């Protein structure tokens, strides 16, 4: 009987040891697995956040490019219209013309100017202004007693669309007279 009792106790102790060992291994395995899963989910979250930020930046850039394109989409058309305005201005400077012709040309000219104005096209102010290389192209210089780099004649009017120069003004600027006695 003692043998049997001893055998039972031994088996019971072995079972307890096995039962006690399993939960630790299982807990360890599950902890490791949870750790891996947590690390992987953090990596996925970080990657998702980066992709979200990149996509938001892409959308902002795309919107800015779209606005910029829309702002200047009419650029080529307006350049062509500016040549028509130049022709109208030359036609109006002709001295020999009848009154009806002049009225018709003036009406067309005003309508064209109004259309360009509505689209944001403005003439560049030149005459009497200080020369600005971004707005003016010098085609000649005229000697002057008092000032230098002031626009004294506008050969061809320049235009800008909103804040962008479409065509610079062709101008003559003043230069100080050289002292021939000196």
Summarize pLDDT for 54-71 with one digit per residue, the tens. Answer: 989 989 998 888 888 777
Same structural domain for residues 60 and 32?
Answer: yes
Same structural domain for residues 139 and 86?
Answer: no
Decide if pLDDT at 176 tops 90.
no
Residues 6+ apart with CB under 8 A from 159: 78, 82, 116, 121, 122, 123, 124, 165, 166, 167
Q: Which domain holds residue 169?
A: 124-182
What is the domain count for the chain?
Answer: 3
Same structural domain for residues 10 and 66?
Answer: yes
Same structural domain for residues 59 and 13?
Answer: yes
Quote the pLDDT of residue 182.
47
Same structural domain for residues 63 and 5?
Answer: yes
Decide if pLDDT at 23 tops 70.
no
Decide if pLDDT at 181 tops 70.
no
């Amino acid at each position: 009987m003692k043998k049997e009792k001893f055998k039972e106790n031994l088996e019971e102790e072995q079972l307890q040891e096995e039962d006690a060992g399993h939960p630790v291994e299982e807990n360890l395995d599950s902890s490791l697995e949870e750790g891996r899963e947590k690390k992987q989910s953090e990596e996925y979250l970080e990657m998702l956040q980066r992709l979200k930020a990149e996509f938001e930046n892409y959308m902002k850039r795309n919107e800015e490019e779209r606005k910029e394109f829309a702002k200047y989409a009419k650029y080529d058309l307006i350049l062509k219209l500016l040549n028509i305005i130049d022709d109208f201005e030359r036609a109006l400077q002709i001295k020999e013309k009848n009154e009806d012709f002049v009225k018709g040309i003036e009406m067309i000219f005003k309508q064209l100017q109004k259309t360009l104005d509505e689209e944001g096209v403005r003439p560049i102010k030149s005459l009497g202004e200080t020369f600005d290389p971004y707005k003016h192209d010098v085609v000649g210089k005229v000697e002057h007693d008092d000032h230098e780099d002031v626009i004294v004649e506008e050969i061809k009017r320049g235009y800008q669309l909103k804040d962008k120069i479409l065509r610079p003004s062709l101008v003559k600027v003043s230069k100080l007279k050289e002292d021939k006695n000196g």
